[in-house]
Amino acid sequence: MEVVLTHNEPINTEECPKPEKSHKRSKISRDVETDIELLYKAVPQIGKVFRIIDKIGEGTFSSVYLGEAQMHDGSRQKFALKHLIPTSHPTRIAAELQCLTLAGGQENVMGVTYCFRKEDHVVIVMPYLEHKAIVDIISSLSFEEVRLYIYNLLRALKHIHQFGIIHRDIKPNNFLYNRKTKEYALVDFGLAQGTADTQIDLLKDLSGLRKVQRPVFGERNINSCTQVSATTKATSAQTEFVKVAKAEDPANRRYLSAGRGSAALKSQGANQKPQRAVPLGVTCSCFQTDRVCNICLSRKQQIAPRAGTPGFRAPEVLTKCPNQGTAIDVWSAGVILLSLLSGRYPFFKASDDLIALSQIMTIRGSRETIQAAKAFGKSIVCSRELPRQDLRVLCETLRGHRPSPDDDDYVTPLPQNNGTVSGKPPIPDETPTHRPIEEQVKPEDTYDNTSLHTGHMETEQWDGGWGGVPDEAYDLLDRLLELNPAKRITAADALTHPLFTDLIQLT
């Protein structure tokens, strides 16, 4: 048993508080109860310090619990206990901890209080930040809250990027937000990687591990020449390997044969040679067809990091560009801003990297995407041209602030294909107009946008500031969602963007 102390002994290990019946979370399921028992058994030290109240998160690589400890001054404090799956690589675990200890506890980055280990079980103890899932609050967020949320996310990104940490999994689930206290915390360094000059030593050690990296759990590898059938249901995209013997073009390739109305995509490394020996002179004929031949199947996969969540992945990640930097986190922040401005979460829902890429093209334009990819050494073929969308028109249409499809001057926000964007009409509870009454109260710290209204403020319900979103918001969005990572704004520069003029002195 090892207890690593990273903080000034705040916890009284003598008196473990007795379970309280009155706790509002006392109704936990059998499964959760069983998991809590198993955790107490796996790491008995936990039970001496904490009373575990509930499970608050469950992912592929960890389970997170809410625990309570009695402090020396008699008060009780809540903590989040992250139990990592026992199969996690020790260096991976140590790197996650090092990110939290060195960069955490400041600038909206979660800190760490303790770490327990018994055999292969590791539990990271962090201060608990109460928060709600973004999907539950998105419809009631005011524009000012969105502006502050993005500002605070960018602060966390600037901070970790200064340490040479690439988070790689920036999404609302990993950026906790407490609406009442206006606290924010970036969590989950489980996929983090270091830049070339990272200050996190253990992230350097991870680069050795990456060479033997397994495909990310639960996701298909699209690295080999892979046929993807995107159907109208985003979730039913399938991969089929078709055995074909003839050959013609030896290039390393992939092909997306899209279903109804969607764009077909092919992306290939312009500078990469196939890594597994395909006999010289042997060519294949699957180029630009919807099959994958054995020759292409036998090509060795190109290794490039691609951890993260498809809908938040930057174009350079989706196309497996080997040189990825902190700009990938900035792209993800852009996707979050797009989601919050349009009121749709998730915005991109992709089960596959090429579907995700086609979804990006529907917003940012196919020609623009192809051109940007060329700049980072990737060649993409798209079967049809998708125009670049005006971001304000797109967001306002999705928010219902612009004419609907029944109106004459309706602007098609998105191609109606393969579930590209979560384009279905919002369910009533998520629509801004159906916001619960108590949420419609204008927050005290809201920035004054009354000048943008035309005098109906007293009689009309406040619209959350959505009627007067300034151009700066869409300008920042445009810069965050810059397709070429070399041109994409950095988190540090984004913080000085005119959208945040009134906040700059606080940084």
Out of ligand ADP, Zn ion, Mg ion, none, which partner does residue 64 contact, by CB within 5 to 8 A per kind? ligand ADP
Nearer to ligand ADP, 93 or 126 (CB): 126
Q: Which is nearer to ligand ADP, 42 or 129 (CB)?
A: 129
CB of 174 or CB of 223, closer to Mg ion: 174
Is 284 near Zn ion (CB under 5 A)?
yes
CB of 36 closer than 8 Å to CB of 56: no
**CA-closest candidate to residue 479, choices 487, 470, 471:** 487
Q: Does 421 bind Zn ion (CB under 5 A)?
A: no
Residues 421-450 binding ligand ADP (CB under 6 A) are: none
For residue 364, the cross-strand partners are none
Nearer to ligand ADP, 175 or 255 (CB): 175
Does 145 bind Mg ion (CB under 5 A)? Our answer is: no
- Smallest distance from Zn ion to CB 282, Å: 10
Determine how β-strand 50-58 pairs with β-strand 62-70. Answer: antiparallel
Question: 285 phi and psi, to 5 degrees?
Answer: -120, 15
Residue 59 in the binding site for ligand ADP (CB under 6 A)? yes
Residue type, 80: A
**Cis, bond preceding 346 (omega within 30 deg of 0):** yes
Burial (CB count within 10 angstroms: exposed 0-12, middle 13-18, buried 19+), residue 243: exposed
Tokens of 368: 């623009």
188 binds ligand ADP (CB under 6 A): yes
Instruction: Pick one of 126, 191, 237, 293: the residue that binds Zn ion (CB under 5 A).
Output: 293
Q: What is the DSSP secondary-structure string of 409-424?
A: T----S---TT-BS-S
* Euclidean distance between the first and the last CA atom of the chain, given in angstroms as a whole number: 42
Sign of the alpha-carbon torsion through 166, 170, 174, 175? positive
Out of Zn ion, ligand ADP, Mg ion, none, what residue 40 binds, judged by CB under 5 to 8 A for its kind, is none
Stretch that binds Mg ion, among 17-25, 112-120, 171-179, 431-439 (CB under 5 A): 171-179
Estimate the share of the chain in helix, then strand, then coil, as percent rounded to the nearest 5.
35, 15, 50
Minimal distance, residue 480 CB to Zn ion, in Å: 37
Shortest Cβ 191–Mg ion spacing (Å): 9
Q: Which stretch binds Mg ion (CB under 5 A): 80-88, 111-119, 173-181, 272-280?
A: 173-181
Residues between 113 and 172 with contacts to ligand ADP, criterion CB under 6 A: 126, 128-129
- Whole-number Å distance between alpha carbons of 356 and 359: 5
Q: What is the CA radius of gyration of the chain?
A: 24
Place of tokens 């994409």: 488
Number of residues that bind ligand ADP (CB under 6 A): 18
Q: Is residue 36 part of the contact set for ligand ADP (CB under 6 A)?
A: no
CB 37 within 8 A of CB 2: no
What distance in Å separates the CA atoms of residue 317 and residue 322, rounded to the nearest whole number? 8
Is residue 406 flagged as an active site residue? Answer: no
Applying CB under 5 A, among 296, 372, 373, 398 the residue interacting with Zn ion is 296
Q: How far is the CB of 170 from ligand ADP (least distance, A)?
A: 11
Task: Write down the catalytic residue from 31, 35, 136, 169.
Answer: 169
CA distance 346 to 337: 11
User: Using CB under 5 A, which of 98, 108, 142, 174 touches Mg ion?
Assistant: 174
If binding is defined by CB under 5 A, does position 188 make contact with Mg ion? yes
Interface with ligand ADP, residue 56, by CB under 6 A = yes
Tokens of 258: 């899209």
Burial of 18 (C-beta count, 10 Å sphere; 0-12/13-18/19+) = exposed
Listed ranges 5-13, 17-25, 57-65, 196-204: which one lies at the site for ligand ADP (CB under 6 A): 57-65
Instruction: Return the biggest CA–CA distance within the chain.
Output: 77
Q: Among residues 109 and 480, whose Cβ is nearest to ligand ADP?
A: 109
* CB-nearer residue toward ligand ADP: 66 or 357: 66
Residue 444 CA from chain centroid, whole number: 30
232: closest CA among 425, 415, 427, 426? 415
Which of 221/496 has CB closer to Zn ion? 221
Q: Are 267 and 306 in contact (CB under 8 A)?
A: no
Question: Do the bridges between strand 121-127 and strand 165-166 make them parallel or antiparallel, or are there none, so unpaired?
Answer: unpaired
Residue with smaller CB distance to ligand ADP, 99 or 386: 99
Our finding on whether 251 is near Zn ion (CB under 5 A) is no
Of positions 10, 47, 57, 400, contacts ligand ADP by CB under 6 A: 57
Active-site residue set: 169
Residue ranges that bind Zn ion, judged by CB under 5 A: 284, 286, 293, 296
Residue ranges that bind Mg ion, judged by CB under 5 A: 174, 188
Residue ranges that bind ligand ADP, judged by CB under 6 A: 56-57, 59, 61-62, 64, 80, 82, 110, 126, 128-129, 173-174, 176, 187-188, 190
